[in-house]
Structure 1
Amino acid sequence: MENEMLKVFDENHQPIGQASRAEVHRLGYWHETFHCWFISREASKAYIYLQLRSTDKKDYPGLFDITAAGHLLADETVENGIREVEEELGVKVKLDELVSIGKVHYEAYKEGFIDKEIAHVFVYETPYEIRDYHLQLEEVAGIVRVDFNHFYNFCFGKTNSILAEGFTCKDGMKLTFKGDITYKKLVPHDLSFYQQVAERIQRYLSRK
């Protein structure tokens, strides 16, 4: 995976060539990713879904993250990113069922790792029940849903935690999960990233 080739961009987000995934994160090149946030509606409520990253992941193991996401390889288009959904969650999604909510540029830094992403962000109104997801356990250890209004308030600091319900996987079995998610349990994307996503999804929901 570290040898996968990605398209890289300069500080003005103009393409400048290709580099391996390892080099991209070592030198801090801007690169493209695909993000898909699952949402659903029941009566007057909307929900947003989070995946729990496997504890075997090199980056951010055991933390909650975007429903499905991944890097776009050098020879891929944005549309090719939909492969991440079926690979990680085990459900079929058609490209025309996704709705683009634009691009989000963000940066994250930790020792020996610089992540500068141009994220192509989509929403998908899922018809699936929680039990329908069949996770790629090397990548994903669980999936949960959260009341979207609570998620929105959480992103803007109006609450310190959000209640999530779903399941986690252990030894090939699905275990019911219900518990609070705090900032420490989320992948540490910059807070402005979560705020932009929450704002755009709220606008999407208000139009429908």
Structure 2
Amino acid sequence: MAAHELLDIYDEHDRHLGVCPRSEVHRVGHWHHTFHCWLVRDTEAGRMLVFQKRQHHKDTFPDLYDITAAGHLLAGETVEQAVRELEEELGVPLRFDQLTPLFIARDEWHGEGANGPLIDREVSSVFGACSPLTLREYRLQADEVAGVFEAPLSHMLELFHGERSSVAATGVYGQPDGAPTQEQPYVHIEVTLEQFVPQPHGYYEQTCTHLQQLSPLE
């Protein structure tokens, strides 16, 4: 289970301190490393930003919209190996050399999780890539991802800048067995900034700006 996963922990200067269970990492507030990958899809209508909806039973930020795929680096794991998150959460067969590094983000968050108070201190390596899949081709990890959505990247940047109050998005919800979403009907929704997982100031704007310059997948 996720709570018993072992993570490498660090001090505020990113010096390695040892290994600790994930539940303890969040209880005490140890710094640790995470992997973020944002996908975009190029269409005739323009470049779309792909994002996921978290499952309702997640211990933090249930039901909110989030990074396309993300996860903690396990003890001894490199960021190159963390590309596994794309395959595990979404069924996307991208290699690490197909990702573009965008920036490093540091974030400290204090709040309540499903098991009580927590302190989340993360150093996140943020990447971007062009998706080779349409929404119905994803295989969503049923216990992690409720659905996958896309909206015009330019509109999402305006949302995160505060220039729009909402953006129209299209998506599909996953199937309980994690099968491809080919038969799932499209849903059309309006998303607001408040429906996204909180991130450090400027994180979403910086991400979208970088993604606008991303080269198409070869």
5+ unaligned residues in a row in structure 1: which ranges? none
Amino acid at match of 1:181: V
Which residue is equivalent to 2:214?
204
Question: 1:3 and 1:44 mapped to 2: Cα distance?
Answer: 44
Q: Decide whether aligned partners of structure 1 residues 106 and 97 sit closer, same or farther in structure 2, where only a CA change above 3 A counts.
A: same
CA apart distance, 1:145: 0.5
Alignment of 1:39-188 (within 5 A): 39-43=40-44, 45-111=46-112, 112-169=117-174, 174-188=184-198
CA contact (8 A) 1:60 1:187 kept: yes
CA contact (8 A) 2:54 2:61 kept: yes
Aligned to 1:200, the other structure's residue is in SS state helix
RMSD of aligned alpha carbons: 1.9
CA contact (8 A) 1:39 1:49 kept: yes
CA contact (8 A) 1:106 1:193 kept: no
TM-score (norm 1): 0.91
CA apart distance, 1:108: 1.9
CA contact (8 A) 1:51 1:142 kept: yes
Q: Decide whether aligned partners of structure 1 residues 120 and 67 sit closer, same or farther in structure 2, where only a CA change above 3 A counts.
A: same
TM-score (norm 2): 0.87
CA contact (8 A) 1:155 1:191 kept: no
Same amino acid, percent of matched pairs? 36
CA contact (8 A) 1:107 1:116 kept: yes
Question: 1:49 and 1:144 mapped to 2: Cα distance?
Answer: 6
Aligned to 1:117, the other structure's residue is in SS state strand
5+ unaligned residues in a row in structure 2: which ranges? 178-182
